[in-house]
Structure formats: C-alpha cells, structure tokens
Amino acid sequence: MPGRDDPEKYLRWRVAVGEPDGRRRWPLVTLGSRLTEIPGPPAPHRVPGQSPSTRIPGQGPLTRMPGQGPAAGADRSGMARPGPAWHRMFVGRMAVAARSVTWLRHLLDHPVGLTRVRRVTVAVQDWEIPQRGWSGRLGPVPHLLAQRVTLPRHDRGRAVVEIELRWSVPLRSVLAAVLPLLTPIRPLPTPGSPEVTAQDVFPGWLGAGPNLAVVAGELPGNPAVRAYDLVLRPDGRDPSVAGDGAGTAYRAGLTVDRLGVPDTEDGGRTGPVLLDAEHAVPVGRYGPFGPAAPRAELTFAPGPDGGSWRIRGPAGLDCQGRLDRPWLTEQTRSALAGIGLLDCAPVPGVRPRAEAALLLHLALTGVLVRAPGLPVSCRAQLADEVVELLRAPLPDRPTGRPDPQTELDWEARAVRQRRAVLRRHARGFALPRLAAATFPGLAALPSVSVLLVTRRLEHVLDAVATVAAQSYPELEIVLCLHGVGLPVELRQRLADCGRPVEVVEVPAGQSFGEAMVAATARARGTLVTKFDDDDTYGPEHVWDLVLARHHSGATMVGKAAEFVHLGALDTTVRRDAGAAESFAPVVAGGTILIGRGDLAEVGGWRPVPSSVDRGLIDRVRRAGGLVYRTHPLGYVYQRRPAGHTWDPGLEYFLRDGGAQWTGLPRHAEFGTSDTEPPPTSRWKLHQRRSNRVW
C-alpha cells in the first residue's frame, strides 16, 4: 500500500454516525471489530486566564487532531477514550453506518475521514430518493475495482453502497464519491478555481469537491507543479510542507476554524461564519407566512457540555440541541415545518460564533427568524445584510388586519433572509471573495446568459431593461430576433443598457426551438436562463435561480407560474401551482436555468415550433436529472387576452380562489413597488450600482 509513513494496520473497523433508529445492521465480516460512534461527548475548551479544569458555557466538543488527546468518538458507554491517530491508520475493511445522508455528510469534517481504506461498506438507514426517475452517480474515486449499490424497492429505506479499491485512499475520498449516488450535488460552474486544502483543521463548512481536500501533518510536495493554491490553517502559521519545496508548494494561507474564518476584512459583505449550503438547506419547506402563522421561541442555556439551545412552540413543539453542533438534525427541521416565526430570546453572546451559526442554519430552513436582542459579539460574526434582516421590526400594515399584501410582506421577509444567508455565508460564494486578494480573477460569480427570443419589437426595450435591472452582476443578454430585424435606432438604445448585449437574427421560417438553439450557441455564460419578453421579473430573480441550483443540486431550476396577471381583467391572481422549494415535474418555461454543459449533455433544445420548454424538461428528466422549483416571488406570468396556443379560459386561473391584486402586486420583490423606477429608466441606475450586491 503506498503511503508516506508506515501506517498502523487493522483488518476491520466500524463507524456509526447519528443516533440509530432501531438496531444497526453490520456486514457479518465486521461483527466484533472495533466501533467508533459519532458524535461523542464534548471535550472542554480553554480560554486565556482559565484553569485547565474550567469549562466555558457554549464550548465543545473539541475535535482534536488524531493522536493528540481524547477522540471525538466514543465507546458504547458514551465515555471518552483515547482515540487513534486516524491519518496514520490503514483499515482493510471499513463499515460505515449512518442514520441519514445528512449524518453521513458530517463524516467529511471528522478526523476519521483521514483513515486510509481499501474496502468500504456505507449503509444509510433512512434514505429517500429525491424524485422518482432521478439517477445518482458515483463520483470519481481512484483505483476503483468494484462497486455495488443496493437501494430500497419503494424509494425509501436502507441504502447500501460497497466499494473495493486496488490501493487505499482516505475514507473522505470514498465518502465524497458516494454522496452523489445518494443525494444531488452540483458544484458551481466556473472556468477556474484554486486547489483548497485544509491542514490540521476540519471545517464543518468545507464540504466535498474535486478541488477540496483535508490533510493532517505535513503537506506532501510536488516538484512538477505547485501542489496547493490556498491552504487553510487553524493557527495562522505558515503551512508545513515535507521536503525542501515549502516556498513553492502553495500560494496563500487563510486562518479558519470549524465554523468559518475568524478574522475577515471583507467590509461586512461576508460573515466570518460559513456554511456548506449543499447540505444545509432542507427540501420541501416553504411557509407558513403571515401574522397568524404559528410562532415558537428560541432560548439559550449554559451547561457543562458547552451550552445548549431549546425551541418551544405550539402543539407540543420542544426541540433541543447543543451549541457545539449548531447544524440541525432532520427531526428538528421536521418539527419546525409548521412554524412561521421563530422569536429569539436575548442571545447571551457567550459563544457568539456558535450562536450565530445556529441562527444561520435556522434561517436556511425558511422560517422567519427574529432576533432583536442580538449582541455585538454575534453581529460581528454575520454579514451586515443578515444582521439587518434579523433585527428589523416585523412587517405590518396600518389596519392591523391580515390581508394578501401583509402576508406577502412576511413571505418576502423570510425569502430575503434566506437569500442573504446563502449569498453571504455559503462557502461556494464566500470563500472566493475571502481569497480575492490573492486570486482576484477567481472571485467572480458564475456567468449567466439570459436568452431573450422575441418576434415583437415593441417589447424589446422593456424586456432588455428588466434583464439589465437584475442585481446579479455577472450577466449578459442574448437577444434573438425571430423573423424581424433590429432597427438602427433601437440598436443604439440597447448599447446604453449597462449589460453586454449579443444580438442574433433568425429567419421566420425556423422554428422557435431552432431560435433557442441559435441564441444558446452565441451565449458565453456557464449558466443559461430563459426570459419571456412580456413577463414580469423582480430584480433578484436571477440570483434566486443561481442560489437554488447551488443548494438543491438539481440539473434545472425555475419558478412556478403562481402569480398570473390576467390582461383582460387587469388583475393578478395567486394560484396553487405546486409546492415551492421542492423537486417538481415542471417549472415555468420563462424561468428555466440550466448549466450550458448540462444542456449539451441532454441534447439541447428540440427544434419544435411550440412546447420548447416542456421538451427540454422531459429531456432532463429522461437523462436522470432533477428539476427544482424554488420560491415563486419575483416572477409574474403575463396572460394576454389573445395570442396563446394554450387557452383554458379565465375560469381556469380564477377557480382556485387565491389572493388577488388589481394590476400587479406592488412589491419590491417584483420590481413594482412605488419606489421602483419604470423599466427603461433603470438602465443608468444599474450602471451606477451594478456591483452593489456582490
């Protein structure tokens, strides 16, 4: 077996992660072997001025480096015991039993992931297919000899993955390859990214990816190429590198801990606490919203294990957890599903980073979190945008009575809160910003090309202005004129919109699908999204789609046509268009976002005259991909009096009896508030503040 040191060898070992639901089942050949259970009991932390025996409220468990004291695992009695030096171990056959995929993911940031293994059996006790028809894929793992996957017949139950390798690799590498088999994971598309390596630290927010690694001890050098671009360290020291190549082995270092980056100078745009959004956002949770929605209260308490939190609410709701594990279990997420508002008692600020991390994880569930008594120490761990939304007064109306506009205000507040947490604290967006001083060319967001195909010149100015007003910075417009030419005066006006505009002209004899193909061929973005020329889009619409793709792992994302403006009545109705923040069979065609690589992989657009959007959705699903429907705010489907190939009549849109507005809903989420300028007047405004969000 190749390796730098002579490892401590074991034939078999078992790792159990998460509280079991019933009796665990192990492979027969591993019965009687050593067992490590995770999480174990907390270990004490020390601060300057305290004796070694003093424990700080809110601290623990301390995950020590293997071989340096108590291990993070525990035996069956729950007592701490000396742990092995995981990074110096080789296990011939490793068995991993996880309560859920979420618990399995937490092994990525545990020292046991450094154990070198050759045969691995991963069993997930409670697994559920994200959507029928989805096909997970084993990620890249070197030296693969054999694999076997056993999934439950009825889409939910016990899932088992067996891997055999020619040569040993760290268990973390095997887990990173197994996770895409069990849950959708889709990294942000980017033309370049640094090699990020965590040395002697196990960040809970790092996640898994082809360019993300965790090591203990010295970094092995590579004389042929710089082996490391960004090295994460827990102590601010220079990375330790084996051999004589320390000066050329890496480009930059960054001080981090398990919760994020303690010292950041990002001007409030990025909070020091970071999250792995790919596994922290629950699917299927949206609402309830409004003043009448059930409420719960979050309280904090000190304790010998480092502090705890508790949520109590109606119908016997009572959830508890420890601050040393600020992430939420599936049971807690499920218990919060019916809660509309979570009021926080004054946050003690004893362990501000863990307290702030807990608030972020709660906001990602979609529940509206209000924390007016947030101490300065906690505010320092959060981005300014998040602090403002946590402390702001609740939305209300002068009448004091519930109405559609009031409920919309509450809904928008929860959506904004989660949006702010994702784009300010999610590792995929925040870490490139924090490393921008060293790698300025790699800090940009994934580029998005907006495909705008139209036959109607009278809609071009307003449609382009709507795209130009998007808050997403890395955006280009591909304007495809289908059977019409672009007048010179109109072309000159488009040049002033503040965004790159690519104009494509397609003959009228070609189908709408062929026009989409021509527009896509001229797009330069790594992501493409479709806009319809007369629908209404709010300024955060593209951001919402990019965030949804990141945290859902879906091949395609979009919104539902839940808000529909009926031109014949000049009325907007809100209809039941299916569950939001969920995997879905369809999304509105005017909201589709997909990666260019994914689009090419499924065969691109079909050359058909109509139902082009549905044709692409069907191709994605036939290829085993997922379609994700994010929240409906920021998009209004315009139903004109005539000109639609599908016309079920006005009664179809009115029969649900949902909320109604005369004209369009007046709200900033739709770009229609009283303070919003008309679409074409936003062009110069966008040029002045095009990068204010990012």
In this structure, the chain runs to a length of 694
**Cβ contacts of 495-499, under 8 Å, gap ≥ 24:** 496/683, 496/684, 497/464, 497/465, 497/468, 497/683, 497/686, 498/468, 498/683, 498/684, 498/686, 498/687, 498/690, 499/467, 499/468, 499/475, 499/686
Q: H-type helices in 370-454, by residue range? A: 376-379, 384-391, 404-425, 427-434
Q: How many Å apart are CA 584 and CA 560, to the nearest integer?
A: 10
Q: H-type helices in 245-395, by residue range? A: 277-280, 330-335, 352-364, 376-379, 384-391
Greatest extent of the chain over all pairs of C-alpha atoms, in Å = 82
**3-state secondary structure at position 76:** coil
Bridge-based pairing of strands 196-199 and 230-233 is parallel
Question: In the chain, where are the structural domains located?
Answer: 8-185, 187-269, 277-425, 445-688
> Please, what sign has the CA dihedral across residues 247, 251, 255, 260?
negative
Do the Cβ atoms of 96 and 108 come closer than 8 Å?
no
Q: How many Å apart are CA 130 and CA 512, to the nearest integer?
A: 32
**3-state secondary structure at position 268:** coil
Strands in 252-255's sheet, in edge-to-edge order, are 212-215, 196-199, 230-233, 252-255
**3-state secondary structure at position 295:** strand
Q: Across the 694 residues of the chain, what is the mean pLDDT of every consecutive 10-residue run?
A: 67 91 85 86 38 31 34 34 76 95 92 95 95 91 95 93 96 96 92 90 90 88 80 88 73 91 67 89 92 94 81 92 87 92 92 94 96 93 95 77 85 97 94 88 91 92 94 96 88 88 93 95 97 95 98 96 92 91 95 96 94 95 95 94 64 77 94 68 47 41
Q: Which two tokens mark 315? A: 């119908």
**3-state secondary structure at position 11:** strand
CA distances from 108 to 214, 215, 357 (A): 9, 12, 18
Q: Which two tokens mark 543? A: 């951001």
Q: Among residues 691, 203, 229, which one has the least CA distance to residue 435?
A: 229
Provide the β-strand partners of residue 220: none
Do the Cβ atoms of 163 and 154 come closer than 8 Å?
no
CB atoms inside a 10 Å sphere around CB 529: 27
Q: How many Å apart are CA 278 and CA 295, to the nearest integer?
A: 27
Q: Which two tokens mark 114? A: 């450094």
pLDDT at site 68 = 35
Q: Among residues 330, 353, 425, 428, which one has the least CA distance to residue 106?
A: 330
Q: How many Å apart are CA 284 and CA 629, to the nearest integer?
A: 10
- Number of helices and strands in the chain (H, E): 17, 28
Q: Which two tokens mark 612? A: 């082009």
Q: Among residues 350, 425, 324, which one has the least CA distance to residue 382?
A: 425
Q: H-type helices in 197-254, by residue range? A: none
Q: How many Å apart are CA 102 and CA 352, to the nearest integer?
A: 25
Q: How many Å apart are CA 192 and CA 566, to the nearest integer?
A: 45
Q: Distance from CA of residue 525 to its chain's centroid?
A: 20
Alpha-carbon radius of gyration of the chain: 26
CB atoms inside a 10 Å sphere around CB 132: 9
Q: Distance from CA of residue 614 to its chain's centroid?
A: 26
Q: How many Å apart are CA 401 and CA 292, to the nearest integer?
A: 10
Residue 405: how many CA atoms within 13 Å on its side-chain side?
14
Do the Cβ atoms of 464 and 453 come closer than 8 Å?
no
Q: Which amino acid is at 541?
A: H
Q: For 412, left (φ over 0), alpha (ψ -120 to 50), or beta?
A: alpha
Domain 445-688 has CATH 3.40.5.90: no
Q: Which residue has the tokens 């059930």?
A: 294
Q: Among residues 442, 466, 464, which one has the least CA distance to residue 453?
A: 464
Q: How many Å apart are CA 478 and CA 529, to the nearest integer?
A: 10
Q: How many Å apart are CA 3 and CA 1, to the nearest integer?
A: 6
- Show Cβ contacts of residue 651 under 8 Å, excluding neighbours closer than 6 positions: none
> Please, what sign has the CA dihedral across residues 196, 200, 206, 210?
positive
The reply to whether the predicted model has a pTM over 0.85 is yes
- Please report which helix (H) or strand (E) contains residue 564, including its range: strand 563-566
Strands in 635-639's sheet, in edge-to-edge order, are 536-537, 635-639, 563-566, 571-574, 660-662
Do the Cβ atoms of 162 and 124 come closer than 8 Å?
no
CB atoms inside a 10 Å sphere around CB 72: 24
**3-state secondary structure at position 675:** coil
Q: Which two tokens mark 116? A: 């070198």
pLDDT at site 56 = 27
Q: CA torsion angle for 428, 432, 433, 436 (degrees, to 10)?
A: 180
pLDDT at site 324 = 85
Q: How many Å apart are CA 427 and CA 406, to the nearest integer?
A: 33
Q: How many Å apart are CA 288 and CA 280, to the nearest integer?
A: 20
